[in-house]
Amino acid sequence: MKKVNIYVLALITAMLGLKGSLIAQDDEGISVGGALRYNIWDKSWTDDNTEPNFTWDTWRLNADGTVSDIDFSFEYRFYPTSNNSHFIHHGWMGYGFGENDDLYMKLGVSQVPFGITKFASHSWWFQIPYYVGLEDDYDMGIKFDYTGVEDLKLTAAYFRQMEPRGVPNQTARYSYDIMSSENASIQELNQFNLRAAYNVTDNVELGASGQFGGIYNSELDDSEMSTALAGHIVADFGNFNFKGEYINYNYAAKDNDGNDMDKVSMGAYGFPYNVAAEGSIYVAGLAYSINVDWGPITNIQPYFDYSMIAKSNSDYENSTHMVPGFLVTAGSIYTYVDYAMGKNNAWLGQWTNGLANGSPDADVESRFNINIGYYF
């Protein structure tokens, strides 16, 4: 057995053992869970006769609990069909200050407070900000949530660096981060985030976010200031849910020769690609929830998500991302049925430079995808 598999087996054994050994008095203790997910897909840009392909998407392990008034949450993920990569999703310790825990601290790997949280999307595919590191991003640092003012949530965070890499390489991670590439020895370092979200009514949230951090070049021993700003709205009207967001970002970075970079390398799930260093992102998504009583099925949620990047470099082609689909809920089994379409999109046929310079001759490509997940 390979050494890495021994470590994985030890991790599983330890987590399962904890469930019985750490149950303490009062509300203290630990719960262990996880998920198992499968994918069925058919891509428009390949001539693979084995498609539609039915494969293993991911499996994961979770541990959550409280010991001596300190909360903790941990999740580790395995992706057998993504370069056999596995990595931490999050892992933090939390503590509440004040009588009502109005100020809550998380230390470790936690979600970056930026834009719509937890997700700006309704589909399994996320929206395009995810693929450039600006949706559901996780980094290593310290974060404070303040809820002492009615209807207002304020979050401030400092992230020393991106989350730890997994196996097999530097791109083995859950969320997209800037990677070193040929002639660019760069990485994210010393990032600050501020986010405010205000409930205008019980059903409408308005928010603004700012992200400011360094992109450090180890060859130059110097950092450039990277920025991202966002405004968002999340609204519920009856059974409808709407998510809208605008993001302007600038991944200012220099290569090893001191030149400004028009595109940077980003990576996750074991593979890298290039992203335009500067641009604006537009996001909109609408979903409708339908309660049903069809055997084990209790809810169906059709949705339509759309997002695009307008790149600041006039020689670069814009990228689009559109996902009509629906979610079927049956107990703890969740099934996403999506028909993702896009142009100059890394995950839709234009891998290396789709989200960077792109191509004026690029076609609109599509992928029909069914993701079936059991959560326990």
First to last CA, the chain: 28
What's the Rg (C-alpha) of the chain?
21
pLDDT digits (tens, 9 = 90+) for 321-369: 999 999 999 999 999 999 999 999 999 999 999 999 999 999 999 999 9
Please give the helix or strand (H or E) that residue 7 lies within, else none: helix 3-21
Burial of residue 199, with CB atoms counted within 10 A of its CB: 0-12 exposed, 13-18 middle, 19 or more buried? middle
- The pLDDT confidence band at residue 51, using thresholds 50, 70 and 90, is confident
- The pLDDT confidence band at residue 252, using thresholds 50, 70 and 90, is very high
pLDDT digits (tens, 9 = 90+) for 24-35: 334 678 999 999
Identify the sign of the CA torsion 82, 250, 198, 244: negative
- pLDDT confidence of residue 263: 98
CA distances from residue 15 to 21, 36, 318, 332 in whole angstroms, order as listed: 10, 17, 45, 21
- pLDDT confidence of residue 161: 97
pLDDT digits (tens, 9 = 90+) for 162-189: 999 999 999 999 999 999 999 999 999 9
- pLDDT confidence of residue 27: 62
CA distance 320 to 24: 51
- pLDDT confidence of residue 191: 98
- pLDDT confidence of residue 12: 42
Fold of 3-375: Porin (2.40.160)
Domain map (residue ranges) of the chain: 3-375
pLDDT digits (tens, 9 = 90+) for 83-142: 999 999 999 999 999 888 999 999 999 999 999 999 999 999 999 999 999 999 999 999
Q: Look up the pTM and report it.
A: 0.92
At residue 144, the 3 state secondary structure works out as strand
- The mean pLDDT value for 238-261 works out to 98
